[in-house]
Chain A
Amino acid sequence: MTSPAPSGTEPSGTAAGAGAPAHTGSQGTRVLGSVTAAGLVMLSLFALVFSPAEADQGDAVRLMYIHVPTAVVAFLAFFVTAAGSALWLWKKSRWWDLVAASSAEIGVIFTALTLVTGMVWGRPIWGVYWTWDARLTSTALLLLLFLGYLAIRRVPAEPDVRNRRAAFAGLIAVVDVPIVHYSVNWWNSLHQEPTITRLDPSIDGLMLFTLMLGIVVFLLLYLWLLVHRFRLAWLEEQLASSDLAAALVERRAEADEATISAPPAPSSAAKASGTIAEASR
């Protein structure tokens, strides 16, 4: 696809700037992807084979090597969304809006994974899938907040309107996160419920290493997904704007023909350009 240079206020020289590739992969992402894939294989080996089973939890502890990294990535993703929303409002750059959107999608998936892996772990250890633990509850609310954010993004609108709407929705949601966290914690402390066992500081060396490896690998995975999702969103936008440009050219040609066939009336040209303006909205 030979796309026209993007007309916007985005900083040029970015990975997907002018002369953007027609696909989302590049040398850099291929390297990143390979490293991530190798890391995932290594993580699987360490998590399932090399690291020992825990005394109390048995093999269920192995879920921690996915559960904790997904949670870390989920929170990071939402932080990036919040930062992207704020920076869009400040810089009005399409770039930041797309970063916020891409990161939110990944964040939602990883939050859901965090909850699911937590539930699968909770069933054998606590005997229940769900408990109204403070962290569980606030994570579930976080997921819902950002599902709302994604829902408002999906409402069709002009890019500028949609971006502003999304940026504010993102910020309103983010402002809520500490209040939710605090209130749920406090609510929970009044009700004696089982709490998640905190990460034991005297954790076995190999287990700690596996956990750290998991976090690093998942951060790489996040980065890889983010770059691809961002480029995809960028290409989508370019496609939409190039379609619009083509439609505009067509209408202009029609309008020119109309003025040639009926030259004198000056108002008809004005009307035609009015139609173009209408069509471009």
Chain B
Amino acid sequence: MFRDAWLVAGKDLRLEARSRVTTNQVAPFAVTVLILFAFALDPDSDVLERATAGLFWVAVLLSSLLALQRAFTVESVDGNRDALRLSGLEPAGIFLGKACAVAAQLIVLEVVLGIGVVVLYDATLAGPLLLGATCLAATAGLAAAGTLYGVLAAGLRVRDTLLPLLLFPVVAPVLIGGTRAFEAALGDVPGEGWPWVGLLCVFAAVYTAFGVLAFGPILEES
């Protein structure tokens, strides 16, 4: 299973490395969102500073949607999905591989956005350990839930409009948990943030387990 996951993740990341969609399109989009927030909330007042944690995660959510859509659009052309099913790879491995590839891209995005909020919103990254742990746990959850819905919506004509409607309510706990943990870290009270990391881990574990168990039948449909 893990070897299969490795193969699929490697394939997806190679595709990304060659097409550079994440670095050339999704990352600039994420930064654009940060700039738009600054326009919407007066940068001279301290609103931006206080809202940094929430804005960071909203930007992550919006850009993760693009990354997910991209991850499944590459599968939907040329019967790639059937090829994947016929490849003999374990469905659980395919799920983990795709989720890992999405997670890797999200981590890159989060680093870009992290630099963005430091530079643009003047955030000080206190509690780096908590920030890192939050990012990892939240990303795992986003990637797992996103991969599940991504494959459900992939191949549908309405996938671009359907995916956000399906995904965003489900990942609401990730937004809540990530924001609270970041607020604690940025506000220099990391002790309050760790329980939220726990919640994010539970979310990630639940959806990873769901994906590992259910991905086979989900992938079967065409």
| A187-B173 Cα distance, complex, nearest whole Å | 10
| A147-B158 Cα distance, complex, nearest whole Å | 15
Chain A residues, CB < 8 A from B180: 187, 190
| A166-B16 Cα distance, complex, nearest whole Å | 31
Is the beta-carbon distance between A172 and B170 smaller than 8 angstroms?
yes
Chain B residues, CB < 8 A from A160: 221
Is the beta-carbon distance between B217 and A164 smaller than 8 angstroms?
yes
Interface segment among A70-78, A148-156, A229-237, A259-267: the answer is: A148-156
Chain A residues, CB < 8 A from B202: 179
B214 close to chain A: CB less than 8 A: yes
B145 close to chain A: CB less than 8 A: yes
Is the beta-carbon distance between B218 and A145 smaller than 8 angstroms?
no
Residue from A141, A148, A164, A183 within 8 A of B166 (CB atoms): A148
Chain B residues, CB < 8 A from A190: 180
Is the beta-carbon distance between A152 and B166 smaller than 8 angstroms?
yes
| A209-B207 Cα distance, complex, nearest whole Å | 43
B177 close to chain A: CB less than 8 A: yes
Closest A residue to B179 by beta carbon equals A187
Chain A residues, CB < 8 A from B172: 141, 180, 183-184
Interface string of A42-77 (1 = CB under 8 A from B): 000000000000000000000000000000000000
Chain B residues, CB < 8 A from A157: 221
A168 close to chain B: CB less than 8 A: yes
Interface size class of B (residues with CB under 8 A): 20 to 34
Closest B residue to A190 by beta carbon equals B180
> If A179-B203, A183-B173 touch, does A172 touch B148 (CB 8 Å cutoff)?
yes
Chain A residues, CB < 8 A from B15: none
Interface segment among B79-87, B98-106, B149-157: the answer is: B149-157
Closest A residue to B192 by beta carbon equals A190
Residue from B148, B157, B169, B195 within 8 A of A148 (CB atoms): B169
CB under 8 Å from chain A, chain B span 196-213:
199, 202-203, 206-207, 210
- A-B contacts, 25 of them at CB < 8 A, read A89-B217, A141-B169, A145-B170, A147-B165, A148-B166, A151-B166, A152-B166, A155-B162, A157-B221, A161-B222, A164-B221, A165-B152, A165-B218, A165-B221, A168-B148, A168-B152, A171-B214, A172-B152, A172-B170, A172-B207, A172-B210, A175-B206, A176-B170, A182-B199, A187-B176
Taking Cβ atoms with an 8 Å cutoff, the residues of B that contact A are: 145, 148-149, 152-153, 156-158, 162, 165-166, 168-170, 172-173, 176-177, 180, 195, 199, 202-203, 206-207, 210, 214, 217-218, 220-222
What 9 A-B pairs are tightest by C-beta distance, nearest first? Answer: A183-B173, A144-B169, A148-B166, A161-B221, A145-B169, A148-B165, A176-B170, A183-B176, A179-B173
13 additional contacts (CB under 8 A) given A152-B153, A161-B222: A144-B168, A152-B162, A165-B221, A168-B217, A169-B166, A171-B214, A182-B199, A183-B173, A183-B176, A184-B173, A186-B199, A187-B180, A190-B180
